[in-house]
Amino acid sequence: MTAAPKKKKSSQSHDPRVEAARKRLQESIDQADALEAIREIVTNLLGCEEIGLFTIVHENDHTKNGLLWSFGIDPQKHGTLSAFEHAALQRVLQGELHIAQVGHEAHGSHENPPIRAFVPIRHNGRTVAVLIMLKLLPQKLGFDEADINLVDVLSNEAGRALYEGRTRMREDSEARGGRG
């Protein structure tokens, strides 16, 4: 009798940061709490100082977007996704992650390494938002495999936290007789 081969566990299942991030997003009670969870994950676990979350609205044959929330990003300069690389954003809207190092000359300096990370935030199989990460902490030179696993958690769990948290809040309010 031959033993069935053991399934190889992904490195994601061994990283306590990934599980903590997933749990934090899943336990978000409303949109504000979900946004705070995203900020905590991106700043504390990924080491990124500039973050923007852009909502995506699909209307007829085109897509509208706008800055929903940001941390460290100038909303006047980055109010819409049009301020960023169009080709990369098109792929992100289709659900692909895009990460690019910008200006490799910053690696040897004490400046914060510029990065362009575009993360599709998915809900019910659609990209409903795009998370933009622009500047890493000085001691962080880029994203490693563990960081990509965290980014995957954001992509797959943040949409549910943002949109279903509002539903839970509304249902709780209705259960209390409409009292907020």
Residue 131 bridge partners (DSSP): 53, 119
3-state secondary structure of 114: strand
Average pLDDT over the chain, rounded to an integer: 81
pTM: 0.78
Strand partners, 116: 100
> What are the residue boundaries of the structural domains of the chain, listed by start?
16-173
Lowest mean pLDDT among 15-24, 76-85, 128-137: 76-85
In CATH, the number for domain 16-173 is 3.30.450.40
Give tens-digit pLDDT for 99-125: 887 654 444 444 555 778 999 999 999
Phi–psi pair at 46, nearest 5 degrees: -100, -15
In angstroms, the Cα distances linking 78 to 16, 38, 74, 84 are: 33, 19, 6, 8
The average pLDDT across 61-80 equals: 86
Q: What is the pLDDT of residue 164?
A: 86
